[in-house]
Amino acid sequence: MAVLVGEDTRVIVQGITGREGSFHTKLMLEYGTKIVAGVTPGKGGQEVHGVPVYDTMEEAVAEHPEANTSIIFVPARFASDAVYEAIDAGMKVVVVITEHIPVHETMKFVNYAKSKGTVIIGPNCPGIITPGAAKVGIMPGHIFKPGPVGIVSRSGTLTYEIAYSLTRAGIGQSTAIGIGGDPIVGLTFTEAMEYFEKDPQTKVLVLIGEIGGDMEERAAKMIEEGRFTKPVVAFIAGRTAPPGKRMGHAGAIIMMGTGSYQDKVKALEKAGVRVARIPQEIPKLVEEVL
């Protein structure tokens, strides 16, 4: 089984002819991801690493009706249009790698996606990987291996570090999702947890949070209320961050007495979650609950 992407995933790369789009298309293909088409306006008729390029999503889907997933490498000022185009073309999952998209634009397309039944991952995210089946993102595929641990994370770098530490400890992953570090993102922790709850392969969930916002507190409430029943291990980045300082991500800012490291850890521990103080503790904590 898999969460959101797997053996049946068929991908269209939007912005495939750009430097990042071309580079990561090659790596995704090498991983075994089935990329059926690319889209760059004005570049239709070309090929990138053997993938046919079209001017629009509509044209790409007409030629490749099996496509169900899009990944966006479009510059920020055009990215929202690309998201709408993907949603209107019927994509079930849209991974938005692009960063620096204005928050009000993200709010609009996330709301539109929900009305159409499309799952947005991101923006400003590393994407999603189901090890051994499909990688729709920019993460280094070789550090993941198939197994029973789901990962959902606000931090790309910490996703890689923790996945690698699990793999080195002989613990594989079911699916890893980097939801992005912006103040507004498409898929949230609780929404991702609903998918992992239904996934028979996932036996334990690793939740990687950070200061700012209240997503971790909402996740804790979901666990406490019994709406997520699998064991959860967590790590919260930003333990030493001073109040009012933004650390790294745009969403990682503590305001009005909410979103602090202490608030998040307290809520999670109250819900029975084991919280690691450093990322290297996670494999040991996972082994204890597997």
User: pLDDT tens for residues 25-70?
Assistant: 999 999 999 999 999 999 999 999 999 999 999 999 999 999 999 9
Q: Which amino acid is at 273?
A: V
Q: Are residues 45 and 143 in the same domain?
A: no
Question: SS3 of 158, please?
Answer: helix
> What average pLDDT does the structure give for the chain?
94
- Structure tokens belonging to residue 204: 């334990």
With respect to residue 131, please indicate whether it lies within any of the assigned structural domains. Answer: no
pLDDT band at 255 (very low <50, low <70, confident <90, very high): low
Q: Are residues 116 and 167 in the same domain?
A: no
Q: Which amino acid is at 200?
A: P
With respect to residue 3, please indicate whether it lies within any of the assigned structural domains. Answer: no
Please tell me the predicted confidence (pLDDT) of residue 242. Answer: 65
Phi, psi (deg, nearest 5) at residue 264: -70, -45
pLDDT digits (tens, 9 = 90+) for 67-101: 999 999 999 999 999 999 999 999 999 999 999 99
Q: Are residues 161 and 271 in the same domain?
A: yes
Query: Which positions are catalytic?
Result: 249
DSSP 8-state secondary structure symbol assigned to residue 226: T
DSSP conformation letters of 92-123: SEEEE------HHHHHHHHHHHHHHTPEEE-S
pLDDT band at 281 (very low <50, low <70, confident <90, very high): very high
Please tell me the predicted confidence (pLDDT) of residue 2. Answer: 83
Q: Are residues 117 and 251 in the same domain?
A: no
- From 73, 89, 121, give the residue that closes a domain: 121
Q: Are residues 98 and 203 in the same domain?
A: no
The tally of domains found in the chain comes to: 2
Phi, psi (deg, nearest 5) at residue 101: -75, 130
Distance CA 244, CA 6 (A): 40
Q: Are residues 145 and 241 in the same domain?
A: yes
Percent of the chain with pLDDT over 90: 88
Q: Are residues 109 and 147 in the same domain?
A: no
- Residue 165 sits in which domain range? 139-289
Q: Are residues 91 and 221 in the same domain?
A: no
Q: What is the 3-state secondary structure (H, E, C) of 207-249?
A: EEEECCCCHHHHHHHHHHCCCCCCCEEEEEECCCCCCCCCCCC
Q: Are residues 143 and 179 in the same domain?
A: yes
Q: Are residues 272 and 189 in the same domain?
A: yes
With respect to residue 130, please indicate whether it lies within any of the assigned structural domains. Answer: no
Q: Are residues 162 and 269 in the same domain?
A: yes
